[in-house]
Structure 1
Amino acid sequence: MKLRHIALGLAALGAATAGHGFAELSRFELREYQLPLLEPGTLGGRGPFRILHISDLHMIPRQRKKIEWVRALDRLDPDLVINTGDNLSDLRGVPAVLEALGPLLDRPGAFVFGTNDYWAPRPVNPLKYLTDTKRAPSYVDLPWQGMRAAFIEHGWHDATHKRLEFKASGLRLALAGVDDPHHDLDRYDEVAGAPNEAADLSIGLAHAPYRRVLSAFEADGYDLALAGHTHGGQICLPGGRALVTNSDIDRQRASGLHRYGKMWMEVSNGLGTSKYAPLRFFCRPSASLIEVTERSS
């Protein structure tokens, strides 16, 4: 009887824990940061330059709460929207992605993809995740080409292995991006070199925060790098302390805004998870708003 009571107690605890982890999936948060990166006078008396960073939607059909929450981010009036990939988690996910991004697609934007844009997820062993073991892709194709075409038709820039220069809200931007480093798709040599010195702000983009790419952006003189992929650890200890990063970045910088040498780096918690691992612990889904201001004179 005693063993039976222990077993029932453990089962109840497991069910309660799983229930909490599942409930966290829709407790979306906005993380806000301020970065004084611009030369004095750049903004001409205007307010800060607002960058909205979205990553890891991992969209499947009928995720109405996520769709509506992401659409509402347009009220923040961002000057630039950055999407660092892993938008999909289902073959039928593209319409939901486009509905969620909706009005944000009409704002200046740029994107890079992750491998979960290209290939469908597959069932995972959670123990492998907790040991930070890299899992091979399914190589089941997702309809990413149509999603990419829609992004571009709305005016967003594909930064994958490209150096981009354009203006947004009067600021001269220099961006460069690489394909997903997590599965060695990055080819930094195609974008290597310092950003245009005439740019007011330079940003490096990658889906996954791997040190070889971050170090290359930092060495070339970029002001800021943006990435996602880690889900902030997804299964964390209280206080958001990540157990794993699913990359080679240190656990202390698995999410949030941090220095990386002379450069700033922001890693998004992301807004979704694989449909085969729908749990989050002490690591709520989030988007990021980075207000870039002028340095003090």
Structure 2
Amino acid sequence: MSWFLRMVLLILPAILLVYTYTGWRLTVALGQLTSWPRPRIRRSVRFVAGYLVIYPLLLLLASLLNATVLNEALRSGQFLAKLFFIFPFWIGLIIVVEIFPFLLALDLSRFLLRPLFKKYQSLWLKSQALVTISLFAIIAVYVPVRILHDTYSVRLSKREAKIPRLPAEVEGFRLVQLSDLQADPYTGEQKMLRYINLANAQNPDLIVFCGDLVTRGTDHIEHGAKMMGRLQARLGVYACLGDHDYWANPQAIAQQLKENHVTTLEDSVLTLAASPSKISLTTVTNVYNRRPSVQTLERLRQQRNDNAAVHLLLSHQPSDELIQFAQRQGYHLLLAGHTHGGQVVFKPFGIPLNVSQTETRYYSGFYQIGSLWLSVTNGLGLTFAPLRYQAPAEVTLIVLKRKS
């Protein structure tokens, strides 16, 4: 059984459970506030809920029956599949998951305040129904608008890394961090151009790319590499490889990037001249099927130019082991991507929740961990979902400053 099929089987029961509960709550609320017949309300809610979960059911069916054409249409995002199944599923799922904890809290409050509920039962039920309908209305408007904004916009995040004893000639050094271009049918050329142009507009001294040029296969390698070839920085553009690059064709990706003036580094150390100071760039390959060994990390430490003014560590995944290594060895900056900023981030009662948190708590942003600065950028592209929600694409600009 493929990894993809296992994931569908794993999440489908949870999806059906959440839909069942929210559908039931919506049915009850509509029944209390309208004069519509209850059977009609139930049928309508079930029809909408059933339609919204057709996509994972079709994926499951296509995999079980080995229906290649259907499977490819669903997974590659053909226009009709996106319009009628893929986007409705994801938008509906986000709406339902966003409203679920609020509905649960309303039911829990009724249980905890049972004496009050018994005294004012009629008023309570009507008020709860009104709140339920209002929540559905607000969230049903907010979610699509937010998805549209976050999926198609690119933001600039400006950071300052304060480094002790930073030489004057390196102060103000401008480092642009990119990641997860994910060239595929969903990441269109115009969005990639906005991403590249925004990076170039920062007048960077150095650009680093944290991996994942493509999402799957080899069809988009050349296009993605040509887009990367538009990048311009005084000291050059350097990249590591990500999980999807290794699953696609790492040799072809490295070669295409080289032909477009982007240097791909794997488990290596490079010293860059910053007139007259030096900047040390260590690249560690850290992906699912290739973790750095203790011997590799020790070799990289020995090869590092300890006289450099700034020590940078570039990797795809921000794993705890690599963070600890960077701290111990005195790196100033660890640059990573991989997480997409969570890509789809829920915030029930202000608490951020996303799938990337199952791997790391450092899923997006700029963190100071002791003397180490960790930058995890959202990148550009998409993986498990064809959209972004509360995690927009991001170009990260890091300016080096002397710590007083």
TM-score tier by shorter-chain length is 0.7 to 0.9
Cα shift at 1:68: 1.3
Alignment partner of 1:51 out of 175, 185, 193 = 175
* Aligned pair partner of 1:3 in 27, 33, 42: 42
1:146, 1:83 → 2: CA distance?
17
Deviation for aligned residue 1:156: 4.1
Please give the alpha-carbon distance, in whole angstroms, between the structure 2 residues aligned to 1:19 and 1:41.
46
Seen in structure 2, the aligned counterparts of structure 1 residues 220 and 37 have a Cα distance that, compared at 3 Å, is same
Query: Take 2:268 and 2:204, find their aligned partners in 1: how far apart are those partners?
Result: 23
* Aligned mates of 2:297, 2:324 — CA distance in 1: 14
> 1: CA distance between counterparts of 2:294 and 2:280?
16
Residue from 252, 273, 295 that aligns with 1:167: 273
- 1:63 alignment partner AA: G
| Residue correspondence of structure 1 range 210-289 to structure 2 within 5 A | 210-238=319-347, 241-245=352-356, 248-250=359-361, 253-274=362-383, 277-289=385-397
* Percent identical residues: 24
CA displacement 1:77-107 (0-9 Å, x = unmatched): 1101111101102421123212322331565
Query: Which one of the candidate residues 284, 307, 319 is aligned to 1:198?
Result: 307
Q: Which residue, 177, 185, 191 being the options, matches 1:66?
A: 191
Measure, in 1, the Cα distance between the counterparts of 2:261 and 2:149: 35
What RMSD, in angstroms, separates the aligned Cα atoms of the two structures?
A: 2.8
Amino acid at match of 1:81: I
SS at match of 2:229: helix
Q: Which has the higher helix share?
A: 2
Q: Structure 1 residues 2 and 40 mapped into 2: Cα distance closer, same or farther (>3 Å)?
A: closer
**Unaligned runs of at least 5 residues, structure 2:** 1-39, 53-87, 94-139
Contact 2:345 2:390 in 1 (8 A): yes
Shift of 1:9: 6.4
1:3 & 1:240 partners in 2: Cα distance? 32
- Give the letter for the 1:70 counterpart: Y
Q: Is the 8 A contact 1:240 1:282 kept in 2?
A: no
CA distance in 1 between counterparts of 2:382 and 2:397 reads: 20
Pick the aligned partner of 1:42 from 144, 149, 168.
Answer: 168
3-state DSSP of counterpart to 1:104: coil
Secondary structure of the residue aligned to 1:287 is strand
Tell me which structure has the larger Cα radius of gyration: 2
For the residue of structure 2 that corresponds to 1:209, the secondary structure is coil
Q: Distance in 2 between matches of 1:282 and 1:240?
A: 12
| Larger relative contact order (CA 8 Å, sep ≥ 6) | 1
Distance 1:269 1:186, change over 3 A: same
Q: Deviations over 1:55-91 (max 9, x none)?
A: 0111125712222112312121110111110110242
TM-score (norm 1): 0.79
1:116 offset after TM fit, Å?
0.2
- Out of 223, 227, 236, the position equivalent to 1:100 is 227
Say whether the 8 Å CA contact 1:58–1:273 is kept in structure 2: yes
Further displaced range: 59-68 or 76-85:
59-68
| SS of equivalent residue, structure 1 residue 196 | coil
* Separation of aligned partners in 2, 1:95 and 1:4: 50
CA distance in 2, matches of 1:269, 1:31: 10
State the match for 2:30 in structure 1.
Answer: none
Q: Is the alpha carbon distance of 1:246 and 1:268 closer, same or farther for their aligned partners in structure 2, counting shifts above 3 Å?
A: same
Offset at residue 162 of structure 1 (A)? 0.9
2:147·2:387 contact (CA, 8 Å) conserved in 1?
Answer: yes
Give 1 or 2: higher strand fraction: 1
CA contact (8 A) 2:228 2:262 kept: no
Residue 66 of structure 1 aligns with an amino acid whose one-letter code is K
User: Cα offset for 1:216?
Assistant: 0.9
2:241 corresponds to which of 96, 113, 123? 113
Give 3-state SS (helix, strand or coil) of 1:30's partner.
Answer: strand
The amino acid of 2:200's aligned partner reads D
CA distance change for structure 1 residues 105 and 60 in 2, over 3 Å: closer, same or farther? Answer: farther
Q: Secondary structure of the equivalent of 2:196?
A: helix
The answer to whether the Cα contact below 8 Å between 2:229 and 2:261 also exists between their aligned partners in 1 is no
Judged with a 3 Å threshold, the aligned counterparts in structure 2 of structure 1 residues 71 and 52 are, in CA distance, closer, same or farther, namely same
Partner amino acid, structure 2, of 1:55: S
Does the C-alpha gap of structure 1 residues 260 and 182 become closer, same or farther in structure 2, counting only changes over 3 Å?
A: farther
Structure 1 match to 2:157: 31
Q: Which moved more, 1:230-239 or 1:201-210?
A: 230-239
The amino acid of 2:309's aligned partner reads D
TM-score normalised by structure 2 residue count = 0.60
Residue identity opposite 1:281 in structure 2? Y
CA contact (8 A) 1:32 1:289 kept: yes
Give per-residue Cα distances to partners, 1:236-258, cap 9 Å, x unaligned: 124792423266322xx211100
User: For structure 1, which segment, 142-151 or 280-289, has the greater mean C-alpha deviation from structure 2 after superposition?
Assistant: 142-151
Q: Number of residue pairs matched? A: 269
- Whether the aligned pair in 1 keeps the contact of 2:147 and 2:388 (CA below 8 Å) is yes
